[in-house]
């Protein structure tokens, strides 16, 4: 391709909308343009990168026996009603764009395709002989993200590879899942990314395994905890650890103390001169279920620890049936505003005890009359602890479970693991913290969708049983930008060779110099013939501008037909390390071919 004929609009100034390096660079180098919030045009250079990534994905997916297909992006609401996700996706979370067509039918724009693919499996898979199957597609997904940002990292329209497997049983599912984990590692390695596979939250589906593939970067929106020995890595939403030991309580007698103006753990511990590890903190939430029931929740956790919202959400989701509901729709910390709905009188916020009376709850048929009392494991062994007294300005000290308070019946892991906590597999290993960009996610779904949508098969014993399913996603457009986030310098992007839009750029410093232009033209033809993806910068621009642009767009090899021609050489500069090599004109093609295939 000749640059003189290409739509390439590089910018000197960074557009103000961009916050992180990869977003700035892709805009400046003319790869993408913003069309609206979370909506981007992939310009010709970007489209080549995306196609290269897609090709690598296809090769690795096909190698596992997976089959490519293409599913509709417009999806009938009926399918989502069957799986029970229409309400959550369009209303509670609101992530799905929904519309009504002119026949008054409701449709959603596909944020993901479990429903569509399960409907297909239900119709076409009948017997165990037809299993396993694994279908994938690469297409645009739509999600009405609440905070689209960082360019392609979180768009409202983005490209995803999604695959769905159908297996006869959990062990077959596990086999496909492991195969996918390997394929994902191959894909990311081939794209030139350094990445970490981490344990991920499986939501309320429970039991099944899930892994996320993270590109570690400062700008990542996910938080990862891992150990140096490489044995453990998990998304913080899911991470477990051994908390620091509690310090011995300085109190040995139970008594109530005046503790004025101590609504926070820090202020309380300073006032009482005790460690937060000797405090039982009681945090109030309200849970909202799909049958409109409000359940006030009281969580007791050690003072130095924080509640992990994802763990709490999962715990509550699993309890939905206790409240005659199917799903948890929302979870809020019960601050002054929130409690107005259901509190009978002002709550002693900041001074709550584990035995806060149910009389604080206003009688109503939509409100559960009793607190759901949950304790995190960190509080069960505390002795002579400090906690609230249910009276503003007072706490109690020297309290014990089984004496002044009874331990809540439900004890679960609700705490957020933190950096420096001890690892469970080896307490000598402290957890380390890093930020990550989630580029891929693989998931053992089990029978959640097949059961809801009646996708069954006849097993060897002639029994009709639900198909086991897995789903496997890669954010193609996010992955492209994550690569840039991991590979750039002050002058621009440094594409890994495998996904660079072009492999080589020939820069002609002065188009008016006929020798320069002619050698460049000949090399361009020869490289094209040799199958090299090459750009020819034949623009009537100053050499400085051309060099800057070549660095900015990040083509791995730059050929310059400049001064070195006097000695019969062409200068080749490697973008990654800026090393410069003088190569005789006649050797250029073979030398480059060697570098490109290594």
Q: Which residues of the shown chain bind ligand ATP in the complex (CB under 6 A)?
A: 112, 143, 145, 154-155, 158, 160, 438-441, 473, 475, 477-478
CA distance 598 to 595: 5
Compute the Cα dihedral for 362, 363, 366, 368 and give only its sign: positive
Q: Which does 155 bind (CB under 5 to 8 A by kind): Mg ion, ligand ATP, none?
A: ligand ATP
Q: In this complex, which beta carbon is closest to Mg ion, that of residue 238 or of residue 441? A: 441
Any contact of residue 154 with Mg ion (CB under 5 A)?
no
Residue 489: CB minimum distance to Mg ion, A: 30
Q: Which residue has the tokens 């191959």?
A: 186
Q: For Mg ion, what does the binding mask look like between residues 423 and 442, x meaning CB under 5 A?
A: ------------------x-
Distant-in-sequence, close-in-space partners of 314: CB < 8 Å, separation ≥ 6:
201, 203, 204, 206
Residues between 201 and 220 that touch Mg ion (CB under 5 A): none
Output DSSP code: residue 15.
P
CA distance 96 to 106: 12
Distant-in-sequence, close-in-space partners of 101: CB < 8 Å, separation ≥ 6:
107
Q: What would you measure as the largest C-alpha separation in the chain, in angstroms?
A: 96
Closest alpha carbon to 392 in 206, 482, 497, 268: 268
Q: In this complex, which beta carbon is closest to ligand ATP, that of residue 143 or of residue 539? A: 143
> Do residues 241 and 376 make contact, with C-beta atoms less than 8 angstroms apart?
no
Distant-in-sequence, close-in-space partners of 343: CB < 8 Å, separation ≥ 6:
334, 360, 361, 362
Residue 368: CB minimum distance to ligand ATP, A: 30
> Do residues 254 and 405 make contact, with C-beta atoms less than 8 angstroms apart?
no
Q: Which does 475 bind (CB under 5 to 8 A by kind): Mg ion, ligand ATP, none?
A: ligand ATP
Q: In this complex, which beta carbon is closest to Mg ion, that of residue 441 or of residue 478? A: 441
Q: In this complex, which beta carbon is closest to Mg ion, that of residue 219 or of residue 564? A: 219
Q: In this complex, which beta carbon is closest to ligand ATP, that of residue 352 or of residue 445? A: 445
Residue 202: CB minimum distance to ligand ATP, A: 11
Residue 210: CB minimum distance to Mg ion, A: 8
Residue 244: CB minimum distance to ligand ATP, A: 29
Residue 475: CB minimum distance to Mg ion, A: 9
Distant-in-sequence, close-in-space partners of 549: CB < 8 Å, separation ≥ 6:
8, 10, 537
Give the bridge partners for 2, in sequence order: 536
Q: Which does 478 bind (CB under 5 to 8 A by kind): Mg ion, ligand ATP, none?
A: ligand ATP
Q: Which does 161 bind (CB under 5 to 8 A by kind): Mg ion, ligand ATP, none?
A: none
Q: Which does 343 bind (CB under 5 to 8 A by kind): Mg ion, ligand ATP, none?
A: none
Output DSSP code: residue 167.
E
Q: In this complex, which beta carbon is closest to ligand ATP, that of residue 304 or of residue 438? A: 438
Q: In this complex, which beta carbon is closest to Mg ion, that of residue 213 or of residue 557? A: 213
Distant-in-sequence, close-in-space partners of 337: CB < 8 Å, separation ≥ 6:
none
Binding region for Mg ion (CB under 5 A) = 441
């Amino acid at each position: 391709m000749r640059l003189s004929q290409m739509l390439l609009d590089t910018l000197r100034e960074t557009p103000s909308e961009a916050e992180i390096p990869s977003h700035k660079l892709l805009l400046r180098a003319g790869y993408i343009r913003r069309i609206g919030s979370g909506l981007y045009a992939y310009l010709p250079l970007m489209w080549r990168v995306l196609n290269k990534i897609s090709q690598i994905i296809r090769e690795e997916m096909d190698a596992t026996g997976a089959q490519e297909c293409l599913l509709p992006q417009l999806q009938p609401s009926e399918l989502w009603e069957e799986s029970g996700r229409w309400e959550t996706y369009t209303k509670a979370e609101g992530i799905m764009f929904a519309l009504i067509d002119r026949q008054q039918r409701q449709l959603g724009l596909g944020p993901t395709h479990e429903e569509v693919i399960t409907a297909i499996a239900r119709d076409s898979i009948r017997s165990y002989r037809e299993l396993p199957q694994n279908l994938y597609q690469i297409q645009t997904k739509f999600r009405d993200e609440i905070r689209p940002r960082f360019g392609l990292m979180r768009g409202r329209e983005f490209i995803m590879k999604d695959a769905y497997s159908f297996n006869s049983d959990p062990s077959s599912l596990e086999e496909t899942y492991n195969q996918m984990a390997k394929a994902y590692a191959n894909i990311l390695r081939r794209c030139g990314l350094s990445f970490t596979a981490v344990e991920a939250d499986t939501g309320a589906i429970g039991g099944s395994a899930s892994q996320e593939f993270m590109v570690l970067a400062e700008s990542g929106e996910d938080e990862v905890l891992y150990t140096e020995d490489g044995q453990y890595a998990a998304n913080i939403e899911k991470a477990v650890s051994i908390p620091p030991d509690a310090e011995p309580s300085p109190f040995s007698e139970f008594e109530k103390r005046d503790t004025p103006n101590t609504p926070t753990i820090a202020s309380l511990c300073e006032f009482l001169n005790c460690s937060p590890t000797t405090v039982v903190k009681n945090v109030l939430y309200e849970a909202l279920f799909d049958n409109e029931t409000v359940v006030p929740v009281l969580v007791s956790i050690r003072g130095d620890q924080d509640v992990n919202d994802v763990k709490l959400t999962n715990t509550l989701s699993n309890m939905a049936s206790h409240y005659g509901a199917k799903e948890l729709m929302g979870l809020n910390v019960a601050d002054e505003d929130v409690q107005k709905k259901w509190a009978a009188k002002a709550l002693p916020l900041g001074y709550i005890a584990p035995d806060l009376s149910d009389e604080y709850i206003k009688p109503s048929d939509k409100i559960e009359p009793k607190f759901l009392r949950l304790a995190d494991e960190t509080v069960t062994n505390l002795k002579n602890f400090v906690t609230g007294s249910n009276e503003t300005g007072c706490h109690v000290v020297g309290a014990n479970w089984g004496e002044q308070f009874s331990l809540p019946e439900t004890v679960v892991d609700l705490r957020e693991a933190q950096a420096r906590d001890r690892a469970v597999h080896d307490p000598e290993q402290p957890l380390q913290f890093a930020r990550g960009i989630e580029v891929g996610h693989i998931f053992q779904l089990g029978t959640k969708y097949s059961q809801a949508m009646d996708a069954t098969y006849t097993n060897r014993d002639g029994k009709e049983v639900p198909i086991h399913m897995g789903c496997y996603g890669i954010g193609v457009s996010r992955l492209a930008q994550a690569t840039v986030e991991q590979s750039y310098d002050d002058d621009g992007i440094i594409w890994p060779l495998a996904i660079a839009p072009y492999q080589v750029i020939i820069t002609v410093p002065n188009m008016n110099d006929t020798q320069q232009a002619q050698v460049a033209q000949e090399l361009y033809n020869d490289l094209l013939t040799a199958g090299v993806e090459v750009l020819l910068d034949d623009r009537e621009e100053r050499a400085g501008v051309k060099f800057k642009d070549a660095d900015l767009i990040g083509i791995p090899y730059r050929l310059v037909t400049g001064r070195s021609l006097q000695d019969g050489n062409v200068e080749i500069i490697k973008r990654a390390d800026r090393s410069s090599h003088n190569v005789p004109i006649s050797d250029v093609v073979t030398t480059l071919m060697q570098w490109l295939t290594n």
